[in-house]
Each structure stands twice: as structure tokens, then as C-alpha cells.
């Protein structure tokens, strides 16, 4: 399932590769990896195993179908899906699984300012939700995936709490430096 860039990413994060993957991070093309790497890195920092793959809704529809239909049985609990342009991957995957799907709109080479990706992922019909983050917002997608896992995993919830404490500390530091 992994393309060579994704394999390199896994090599760069051997701990994550060794951990049982519970989040599936997929993208329509390896050209999306520059953005989707942020999701992988945040998951890694929370100690969450991720399975990274290129799965294209348009170029490999059968692969997408197999991926989405087998995701739960393979142990995945959340899917983070990024795509640009006519970004059908997150919505199509959401239609094929009962796992929560977080969509990352990507401003890609074939995208018109990113609005096409945002609207393709955001404007889902009733019944098939995709939790859509901001344009290129893969980091937030990783954090949201961790928050979903944190509802039943105390270790992940503690890591998220520490992360939020750190954000708070940084704002306090900003205020201290303003004066």
C-alpha cells in the first residue's frame, strides 16, 4: 500500500512504523505528502501508530474500495484522508466504512486556490459525514484523530492534555514578551 515517499517517511519514523497502526493516513497522490506529513508527525509525537499510503479515488478506485472496506478489520480506528482539486477521496472512503473519517483539503497543483478541495470534502450529503479541517490543515487532522482515540485511551488523552498545556504556556510566554 505504501509508495516510496511514504516508505521513506515510515523509515524516518521507525518507532511509529513498529507500533500497531490505529490511524490510516491516506492521500490521493505522493504530491500530497508534503502536507500530510504534518498529520504523521503529530501522531508520532503522541505515540500513535499510523499506516501511511497513497490511495487515489480516481486513479485507483478498486484500491480505495478495498482499503476502506478492510480498514476496521485491519485494526484502524480513524482514517485521515487528504486530497486536492476534485477531492473525492475522503467522502468516498467515508461512504465505505463506519470508521470516523477526517478530511484534509489540499491546495494542489490542479487546485483553484484550494476552494475546490475544501468544498469537495466539506459539502457532504446528509448521512455521510467527513470531519473537515482547514485547507492544508493536516496537523489539526492528526490532533483530531488523537482526540477521537483519546475518548477510549487514557494514555493518548494525557498526551493531548500535555500538548494543550504547552500551547497555553506558549501564549503566556507571548504575553510576557509583549510587555
Per-residue CA distances from 94 to 34, 104, 139, 154 (Å)? 23, 13, 20, 26
Using CB under 6 A, pick the residue from 11, 14, 98, 109 that binds ligand RP5.
109
> Which range binds ligand RP5 by CB under 6 A, 60-68, 78-86, 94-102, 123-131?
78-86
Using CB under 6 A, pick the residue from 49, 85, 90, 150 that binds ligand RP5.
85
Question: Strand 49-54 relative to strand 78-84: parallel, antiparallel, unpaired?
Answer: unpaired
H/E stretch holding 82 reads strand 78-84
Using CB under 6 A, pick the residue from 8, 34, 74, 110 that binds ligand RP5.
110
CB of 32 to ligand RP5, least distance (A): 5
Q: For residue 21, which phi and psi values (nearest 5 degrees)? A: -70, 125
Grid cell, residue 135, equals 485547507
Site for ligand RP5 in 122-151 (CB under 6 A): none
Grid cell, residue 142, equals 492528526
Does residue 91 interact with ligand RP5 by CB under 6 A?
A: no
User: Contact positions toward ligand RP5, by CB under 6 A?
Assistant: 27-29, 31-32, 56, 83-85, 106, 108-110
Amino acid at each position: 500500500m505504501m509508495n516510496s515517499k511514504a516508505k521513506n517517511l515510515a523509515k524516518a519514523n521507525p518507532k511509529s512504523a513498529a507500533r500497531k497502526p490505529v490511524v490510516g493516513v491516506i492521500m490521493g497522490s505522493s504530491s500530497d505528502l508534503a502536507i500530510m506529513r504534518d498529520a504523521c508527525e503529530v501522531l508520532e509525537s503522541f505515540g500513535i501508530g499510523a499506516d501511511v499510503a497513497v490511495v487515489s479515488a480516481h486513479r485507483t478506485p478498486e484500491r480505495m474500495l478495498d482499503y476502506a472496506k478492510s480498514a476496521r478489520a485491519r485494526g484502524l480506528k480513524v482514517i485521515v484522508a487528504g486530497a486536492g482539486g476534485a477531492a473525492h477521496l475522503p467522502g468516498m472512503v467515508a461512504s465505505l466504512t463506519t470508521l470516523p473519517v477526517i478530511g484534509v483539503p489540499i491546495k494542489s497543483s490542479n487546485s483553484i486556490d484550494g476552494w475546490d478541495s475544501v468544498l469537495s470534502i466539506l459539502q457532504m450529503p446528509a448521512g455521510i459525514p467527513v470531519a473537515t479541517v482547514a485547507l492544508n490543515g493536516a496537523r489539526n487532522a492528526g490532533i483530531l484523530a488523537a482526540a477521537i482515540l483519546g475518548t477510549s485511551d487514557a494514555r493518548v488523552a494525557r498526551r493531548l492534555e500535555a500538548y494543550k498545556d504547552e500551547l497555553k504556556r506558549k501564549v503566556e510566554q507571548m504575553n510576557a514578551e509583549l510587555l
